[in-house]
Amino acid sequence: MTQQVKHFIDGEFVSPTGDKLIAVTNPATQDVIAQVACATPNEMERAIESAKAAFKTWKEVPVSERARLMMRFAHLLKEHQGEIADIICRELGKTVEDAKGDVWRGIEVVEQAANIPSLMMGETVENVARSIDTYSYIQPLGVCAGITPFNFPAMIPLWMFPMAIACGNTFILKPSEQDPMTVNKIAELFVQAGAPKGVLQVVHGAKEQVDAILHHPDIKAISFVGSVNVGQYIYKTGTDNLKRVQAFAGAKNHMVIMPDANKQQVINALVGASVGAAGQRCMAISVAVFVGASADWIPEVAAAIGKVRPGVYTDPNAAYGPQISPQARARVLSLIEQGKKEGATCVLDGSDCKVDGYPNGNWVGPTVFSNVTTEMEIYKQEIFGPVLSTMHVASLDEALKVVNDSPFGNGTSIFTASGAAARKYQHEVEVGQVGINIPIPVPLPFFSFTGWKGSFYGDQHAYGKQAVRFYTETKTITARWFDDDIQVSGPNMSINLR
């Protein structure tokens, strides 16, 4: 019997009552491994009402107790890292190593959430005027929500609800319908860690459930990670409904290679950063900009990438897994064909990729284009597949122009032995996350994930200090206490403190 994915509402896993079913398939075989029912309007309302009721008591829990909850939760996630990774492998197709990395990067955010007492500290100034003090408190918003994508089913939910809940909020999580079982396991561990009833809710579904979150008046803030079009929709609709929104959208990440870089380090970095995780990363390097004589390395880069092969997660030699769905595979293949038609040179073509024993898998082999221009669709669109576009420019200034003219600004990197070149690049590039001889510069969670331009819509970013600001309000108090024998003066008719 096919497994039925349950909702997590009001502190318990409940069998869904809706009849709109979505199949969860193994992307290497197309076998249906589970079915997820879209939450009904009644189920959505129950979840939100439960979170609203839980907020009344959760916000009063001492911040040190909230921190200890996160400590216990992080410990359980570490204990069950392999089990969670196995679920990711089955429903998403990641390799075991990549799936464990997915979980670990989420654990790091939970560890940061355990530091919440120091992150929630306000400010104080004594004697802002005579015998008057001003101080501030950081207080939670209420019910917050998260809408997460398929590609990191552990890490991205863990970007969101631990920080929000540690700040004193309650949380509604709507994970991707394509791999919902991972989040349910994480919710189970959160309960084991001691999370009170109603603090976290998990509801499954698609656009209808997202719209319910966007329009519900009791939801104060929404976090989203996903595609450009959906990110823009989430941001516009959420803010139109007077909610705080942080929406992380698409990317087109460039690596700039200077002629003085270490060639082998460049090759190794490009292999992993371009086709790792089947290219299904918002921080993947999908464009390599070779400066000057470094363009001579392109054939060697293509040869190294050509040695990589996809496969199932049970194969220890597989470098990456399948695309998430047949539709995703078809889109990648369509863009590869478009690149050929537009005049790019396909020096490595993975369109006809086969994996022995798995003829129905959503396989795309590693693909490399040269002579790519900024007018081509393979440059303009986020392919989200194992496809690397390469370009050749004469100078660092030209490379900067290419990167800065892109509408996206999620991540970039430069490989060079020159401190001057690196300093110039990091200062002038219009991208939020920069790596120097680091291919995928995803910051650790005591910093924030800071995409720019069309890669992000909102004001405060994920995790780190910015997440605390996103999930809280600041209350400022100005106070004076009178001694019994103080001389009472006349009325103060101005706004000056005195």
Does the annotation count 282 as an active-site position? yes
Q: Return the exposure string of 376-388: e unless at least 16 CB atoms fall within 10 Å of the residue's CB, then b.
A: bebbeebbbbbbb
Bridge-based pairing state of the strands 21-25 and 32-37: antiparallel
| Pair of tokens at residue 20 | 């709109």
Phi, psi (5° rounding) for residue 441?
-85, 60
In Å, the largest CA–CA distance within the chain is 91
- AA identity, residue 86: D
Q: Is 56 helix (H, G, I), strand (E, B) or coil?
A: helix
Bridge-based pairing state of the strands 12-14 and 7-9: antiparallel
Rounded to an integer, what distance in angstroms lies between the CA atom of residue 138 and that of residue 122?
6
Q: Is 473 left (phi over 0), alpha (psi -120 to 50) or beta?
A: beta
Burial of 133 (0-12, 13-18, 19+ CB in 10 A): middle
Q: Which of 148, 153, 145 is nearest to 55 (CA)?
A: 145
Q: Return the exposure string of 318-343: e unless at least 16 CB atoms fall within 10 Å of the residue's CB, then b.
A: bbbbbbbeeebbebbbebbeebeeee
Are 93 and 386 a contacting pair, CB within 8 Å?
A: no
Spatial neighbors of 141 by CB under 8 A, at least 6 apart, are: 169, 220, 221, 244, 471, 472, 473
Rounded to an integer, what distance in angstroms lies between the CA atom of residue 451 and that of residue 463?
12
The set of long-range contacts for 393-401, using a CB threshold of 8 Å and a minimum separation of 24, is 393/289, 393/290, 393/291, 394/291, 394/292, 395/291, 395/292, 396/256, 396/258, 396/291, 396/421, 396/424, 396/425, 398/291, 399/254, 399/256, 399/289, 399/291, 400/256, 400/425, 400/428, 400/429
| Pair of tokens at residue 60 | 């009063």
Could you say which of 89, 144, 167, 282 is catalytic? 282
Q: Which residues are catalytic?
A: 282
